Amino acid sequence: MSLLVVGSVAFDTVKTPFGEIKEGLGGSATYFATAASFFTDVQLVAVVGEDFPEEHINFLKKRGIDLAGLERSMGQTFRWKGEYGYQLNEAKTLKTDLNVFESFRPKLPPSYTKVPYLFLANIDPLLQFDVMKQVVGPRLTACDTMNFWIEGNRDGLIKTLTGVDILMINEGEVRALSGEFNLVKAAKTILSLGPKTLIVKRGEYGALMFNGNKIFAVPAYPLESVFDPTGAGDSFAGGFMGVIAQNADHESISDKTLRQAAIYGSVMASFCVEAFSLDRMRSLTQDDIRQRYIEFKDLTGYEYFV
Ligand code: AMP
């Protein structure tokens, strides 16, 4: 079943201890849509400027992503500049140029308004809300955000969260949004704002999923070489939501499906960090994904003795 994403399509300039890239293809919606496209049909809502090359459009088209909702506006594409130290878990944002996103007001093509699965990737909560309002009765809405918006448009974000089923944010963002340091207390506070499920992304330590009163821990795949963590969160979300949309044959989404989806999320994030920009996704195959999913079973399974 179809999955719609609204978020940023960007040029990223990124420096890590292992190299750097200038104006590579990036953006929250780009990473999300690419990861999700390995599992289900994806529709993308975003804006790019006159400077966005056909080469990137062709890459997204080749992944089968529906670009009817990708507008091209006068002006420059969104740009983000960030840096990571050896502690790769959180980026230091050096510069954010919203450019064409400043005046973007998404108007969904009629074919998009009945989409069953919706992901509000990291972008101004105002735009997330705009899109949410235009989709009629989605089965599931999930959302991401970042400190830039928690600090810059908190009220808008709280308003968006009232209509969201699943929130996926990193540890620092959980603390900033809830005002609590302890993650269990923070999860309770956030789950009182609207979402029924909270996924806390913890970089190389994996993720924690708080679903009602259940907690599920997902490890990150232990890799020998990590080049660039940019987009790992969005790739996690793409794998997660892609699997949910692919298994959409039941009325309600079971805890088992949520757990499988979280493992696939971690699988997709592990591929993302193996190269700069979306480069690892370009050569990725269904076999690679399946193989790593099986390896997760070995990584997490154990005998239970009493
Ligand atoms: P992640 O590493 O998964 O948290 O997301 C990284 C992506 O988010 C990068 O490709 C950036 O282009 C994008 N990004 C960074 N800051 C923002 C922002 N304020 N709004 C929207 N997207 C952003």
Structure tokens at 195: 């979402």
Q: How far apart are CA 202 and CA 233, in angstroms?
A: 9
CA angle 35, 125, 23 (to 5 degrees): 50
pLDDT at 250: 64
pLDDT at 305: 80
19-26 and 10-16 strand pairing: antiparallel
pLDDT at 249: 66
Beta-bridged to residue 197, according to DSSP, are 166, 211
Q: How far apart are CA 6 and CA 120, in angstroms?
A: 5
pLDDT over threshold 80, residue 236: yes
Residue nearest to atom 18 of ligand 1 (CA): 123
What is the average per-residue pLDDT within 117-129? 95
Tell me the H-state helices in the chain: 28-36, 54-62, 125-134, 147-152, 154-161, 171-178, 183-191, 232-246, 255-272, 279-283, 286-300
79 band by pLDDT with thresholds 50, 70 and 90: very high
CA of 136 to the centre of ligand 1 (A): 27
**Which residue would you say has higher pLDDT here, 91 or 270?**
270
pLDDT cut 90: percent of the chain above it: 88
- Closest ligand 1 atom, CA of 170? 4
Q: Could you report the per-residue pLDDT of 2-33, keeping only the tens digit for each?
A: 999 999 999 999 999 999 999 999 999 999 99
pLDDT at 302: 84
- Closest ligand 1 atom, CA of 233? 3
pLDDT at 69: 95
Q: How far apart are CA 277 and CA 298, in angstroms?
A: 29
Q: How far apart are the first and last CA of the chain?
A: 42
Read off the pTM.
Answer: 0.96
Among 2, 6, 3, 43, CA closest to 131: 6
What value does the mean pLDDT of the chain take?
95
Q: Could you report the per-residue pLDDT of 136-172, keeping only the tens digit for each?
A: 999 999 999 999 999 999 999 999 999 999 999 999 9
Q: How far apart are CA 95 and CA 18, in angstroms?
A: 20
pLDDT at 65: 98
CA of 91 to the centre of ligand 1 (A): 10
CA of 169 to the centre of ligand 1 (A): 12
Q: Could you report the per-residue pLDDT of 262-306, keeping only the tens digit for each?
A: 999 999 999 999 999 999 999 999 999 999 999 998 898 888 787
Domains and CATH numbers, the chain: 3-300 (3.40.1190.20)
What is the average per-residue pLDDT within 37-45? 97
